[in-house]
Amino acid sequence: MKMFARREVAHVVAMVGMLFLGVRCAGMEEVESEHPHLMLDNALLVGERTGLQVCVELAPALKERSGELLGALKSDLALLRERHPLWEKSGFGQAPVRVQLGCPGAAMPSARLESKGALLGPGLSERPSPFRTFVYVLDDARAQEVLGKEQAIRARAELLKVEDHVLAEVSTALVVRASDLGRASFQETWLPTGVGLPPLREPAAAPAADFMPKVSGGTGMGP
Amino acid sequence: MSLPPPAEVPPRSRRTPGWIGLGWVAVLSVVAWHHIPRAHANHTHTGGTQLHIATIHGNNGTSTSPGDQDEQYCVQSRTASIDGTRMANFIEETLAKLSTLWDGTANWRVDLWRASRFCFDYDSATRATIEYEYHIKDDWTEVPLCGTYYSCVVFDNAVYDGYHTHYKWGYSYLQTEHVNGYDTRARKFINHETGHILGLKDPDYYGHCLNSVMHNDLYSSMGCTDPVWYPTANDKNSVTRIADRANTW
């Protein structure tokens, strides 16, 4: 005598299958939605980054000096690591700093950059690179075209979609003159800014924008 | 003598046993539990990303002038179909002149000051001191995600302060069609994008309904029919928690 009818066995098999697939698919959705993800509790910004990685693009006129310039940048980063009070908390101390020649997108600025709102690099990226900072090193002639009177410029390099219509910078581009590497202003102001830390020395205060006098909450035009 | 005919065996019941129904209910409950997003405990918008502009933690201005912990904003029309001055007045009214508005939230740590001129009228060093910019254009194809459909927000210039990373600059790229009515729909777009700048999220999932300007009936209802176009007490409480650093990551 059969203990269970064939139909009952089929129900049980279907239940087990549904349970397995349902739970497994829920897990997959979670993994997919969280990879990669914005991480704001340190300065790395992307959860998959494990330490500070910096990529470097050199202007064509500087190719012969790549070893020297990379060495200078590494020294500046080492100095920042020693001196910046937030270095360890920022997550940069989790792994040795890595500096690599060549950046994703290999962009090289050739025209004047705005010092606010500029984009230099891959832009929107579904899978941001491991590089927190993209450093573009220019010779003096190109720097004159790109930077003008600015000592350096920071720009967005990579943006991550956070919501349907919200983007956040997760990698920063830093455009500098080769001659500024190793200088105090680069080490204390621009390099910290480029990796997302407060500068060790604030730049000279810019003139504040003029503003409209404010009359708050007073017109009675309610919702 | 003939044997009596064997008793007729009753046909096997076709009725499904009750335990199968119970089994299916249990299985479907477990699967649904795994798929339905978990609501944040306090059911506010402060869970998850919470990226926000850096200045909302402090307030060092006065009633007559902004400090560097206040929020200055500028407006820039980038289309001939929007009069820049009219739009700047409308945005200022929405943010700081109605009776329910963002200005003053979190005990005035959100203190919004309109720059006198348009964004592009400032030199780059001065413009860099303005935290928040509203740009209006007929389409935003040059801004990823915005395209021709969305008004969107971009956070720029990340800085870590020892507790978390926030952003020095925020931009709202508003579609002309979203704001050229100068009506409550336009105000909702302005308040909604400003809510993002202050750290609020869109609803997490279909049916995540709370009395909030972040409910996105601007694009899809997400199952919520709340018509508010202004920041509500819920919204302001959420921003206050972010300003307090009391939010959870």
Q: Check: CB of residue B219 under 8 Å from CB of residue B150.
A: yes
CA–CA gap between residue A176 and residue A208 (Å, rounded): 25
Chain B residues with CB inside 8 Å of A160's CB?
none
Q: Which helix (H) or strand (E) holds A191?
A: helix A191-195
Are residues A158 and A170 in contact, defined by beta-carbon separation less than 8 angstroms? Answer: yes
Residue A38 has pLDDT above 80, yes or no: yes
- Whole-number Å distance between alpha carbons of A151 and A185: 9
∠ CA A38-A43-A47, rounded to 5°: 35
Name the percent of chain B lying above pLDDT 90: 55
| Cross-chain Cβ contact B31/A172 below 8 Å | no
Q: Are B136 and B88 in contact (CB under 8 A)?
A: no
Residues 85-104 of A with CB under 8 A from B: 86, 89-90
Using CA atoms, how far residue B158 sits from A127, A192, B15, B168, in Å, is: 18, 11, 65, 6
Lowest-pLDDT choice from B28-32, B185-189, B207-211: B28-32
Say how many CB pairs under 8 Å bridge A and B.
215
B36-82 pLDDT, tens digit per residue, is 444 333 345 555 558 899 999 999 888 888 988 899 999 999 999 99
Decide if pLDDT at B120 tops 60: yes
Mean pLDDT of B110-124: 95
- Rounded Cα distance between A97 and A52, Å, is 5
For chain B, what is the largest distance between any 2 Cα atoms, rounded to a whole number of angstroms? 120
- Residue B242 in tokens: 């972010």
- Among A7, A29, A154, select the one facing B157 at the smallest CB separation: A154
Average pLDDT, chain B: 85
In chain B, which residues have their Cβ closer than 8 Å to the Cβ of A167? 143-145, 152-155
Nearest to A18 among B27, B103, B162 (CB): B27
Sequence-ordered list of residues with C-beta below 8 angstroms from that of B29, at least 6 positions apart, any chain = none
Question: Does A210 touch chain B if contact means CB atoms closer than 8 Å?
Answer: yes
Alpha carbon distance A190, A174 (integer Å): 8
Closest CA to A41 of A81, A96, A75, A90: A90
Structure tokens at B10: 């009753």
| Torsion over CA: B130, B128, B165, A88 (sign) | negative
Residues of A in contact with B184 (CB under 8 A): 223
Considering only CB atoms, B97 lies closest to which of A38, A168, A221, namely: A221
Out of B34, B115, B166, name the one closest to residue A26 (CB).
B34
Q: How far is C-alpha B76 from the geometric centre of its chain's CA atoms?
A: 22
Interface contact flag, B158 A117, Cβ < 8 Å: no
Q: Which two tokens stand for residue A7?
A: 């139909």
Q: What angle do CA B75, B81, B82 make, to 5 degrees?
A: 25
Of all residues in chain B, the one with the smallest CA distance to A198 is B159
Interior CA angle at B135 toward B243 and B115, to 5°? 65
Using the Cβ of A151 and the Cβ atoms of chain B, whether some distance falls under 8 Å is answered with: no
Q: What is the mean pLDDT of residues A53-76?
A: 97
From A169's Cα to the closest Cα of chain B, the distance in A is: 5
| Structure confidence at residue B119 as a pLDDT band (50, 70, 90) | very high
From the list B20, B114, B162, which residue is nearest A86 (CB)? B162
What is the arithmetic mean of pLDDT over A189-196? 97
Three-class secondary structure of residue B93 per DSSP: helix
d(CA B95, CA B101): 5
Of B19 and B14, the one with more pLDDT: B19
pLDDT score of A76: 98
Q: Confidence class of residue A62 from pLDDT cuts 50, 70 and 90? A: very high
> What is the rounded distance in angstroms from the CA atom of residue B171 to the CA atom of residue A202?
24
* pLDDT at A37 (0 to 100): 85
- B6 pLDDT band, cuts 50/70/90, is low
Q: Which of A40, A213, A222 sits opposite B51 (nearest CB)?
A: A40
Q: Indicate whether B204 pLDDT > 50.
A: yes
Contact state of B202 with A163 under an 8 Å Cβ cutoff: yes
The confidence band for A221, taking pLDDT boundaries of 50, 70 and 90, is: very low
Name the residue with higher pLDDT: A18 or B192. B192
Alpha carbons A83 and A89: distance in angstroms, whole number: 13
**Letter for the amino acid at B163?**
Y
Q: Is the pLDDT of residue B10 over 60?
A: no
Helix, strand and coil content of chain B, in percent to the nearest 5, comes to 30, 15, 55
Q: What is the pLDDT of residue B39?
A: 38
List of residues 6+ apart from A46 with CB closer than 8 A = A36, A37, A38, A39, A128, A160, A170
pLDDT category of residue A84 using cuts at 50, 70 and 90: very high
Residue A34 has pLDDT above 70, yes or no: no
Residues of chain B with C-beta less than 8 angstroms from the C-beta of A8? 16-17, 20
Cβ–Cβ < 8 Å for A135, A57: yes
Determine whether A15 is exposed, middle or buried from the number of CB atoms within 10 Å of its CB (0-12, 13-18, 19+). Answer: middle
User: What pLDDT sits at residue B41?
Assistant: 33
Test B98 with A211 for CB contact under 8 angstroms: no
Q: Does A92 score more than 80 pLDDT?
A: yes
Q: Is A163 on the interface with B (CB under 8 A)?
A: yes
Within 8 A of B27 by CB-CB distance, chain A residues are 15, 18-19, 22
Question: Given a cut of 50, is residue A215 above it in pLDDT?
Answer: yes
